[in-house]
Amino acid sequence: MSGFPSIQPAFTVRVIIDPPHAVGSASRTTSLQVVPMTGGTVQSAPGFSPSIDAQFVGTGNDYIHADPDGKHLRLNAHGIANHIQLIYLNYTGVVALGPAEAAVFAGTASDGATPFGNSFTHFTFETGDERYKELETRVFVGQGHFIIETGKPTIVEYTVGQVVKG
């Protein structure tokens, strides 16, 4: 249909995470969990401009609330990546808790990857570097999944696309 936007491949974002910290909440119906982001990468898809091949620096966090029915998680993640200059990224999103995702959060997941299709995000960027400033005015969406390997930290991988004129 004419007028609907399309998605252009933009990035693959891989975030290394530690187990969640259960913070709780005295005023909300669901408890806050803070998931430390301990590393990762942001890498442009072939042909995407501006090209980025960045590493996460320092630490970030994903602040997660479960819906009262326990079927969905609400994400709000913040991190900094370094590619020549620092680039702040934030993503918000929703994870449908299927059995595979629930096992990841319970710490009982088997080796392998959860399927794509249960985690969707909206990415925003901020930077002081004029070469990457246009990222601040674009709309990016992604879908994610978890990668589990015994003895290694959990990875959340997002394929991220730019919303473009259809």
Q: Write the pLDDT tens digit of every residue in 79-115.
A: 999 988 899 999 999 999 999 999 998 889 999 999 9
Average pLDDT, rounded, for the chain: 93
Cβ neighbours of residue 133 closer than 8 Å, sequence gap 6 or more: 127
Residue 1's pLDDT is 58
Tally the domains of the chain: 1
Span 151-162, average pLDDT: 96
Q: Is residue 152 situated within a structural domain? A: yes
Nearest to 116 by CA among 161, 148, 158, 64: 158
Inform me whether the pLDDT recorded for 2 exceeds 80: no
CA dihedral 52→156→123→4, nearest 10 degrees, is 100
Backbone angles phi and psi of 134, in degrees to 5:
-65, -20
Taken as a whole, the chain contains a residue count of 166
Inform me whether the pLDDT recorded for 138 exceeds 90: yes
Return the CATH number at 128: 2.40.160.20
Token pair listed for 103? 């096992």
Residue 64's pLDDT is 94
Per-residue pLDDT of 48-74, as tens digits, reads 999 999 999 977 999 999 998 889 999
Three-state DSSP at 11 gives strand
Q: How confident is the model at residue 28 (pLDDT cuts 50, 70, 90)?
A: confident
Cα–Cα distance for residue pair 117/81, rounded to 1 Å: 25
Q: Is residue 84 situated within a structural domain? A: yes
Q: Is residue 1 situated within a structural domain? A: no
For residue 95, the enclosing domain spans 6-164
Sign of the dihedral through C-alpha 68, 73, 76, 80: positive
CA distances from 8 to 11, 46, 83, 125, 147 (A): 10, 11, 21, 17, 24
Q: Is residue 11 situated within a structural domain? A: yes
Percent of the chain with pLDDT over 70: 99
pTM: 0.92
Q: Is residue 102 situated within a structural domain? A: yes
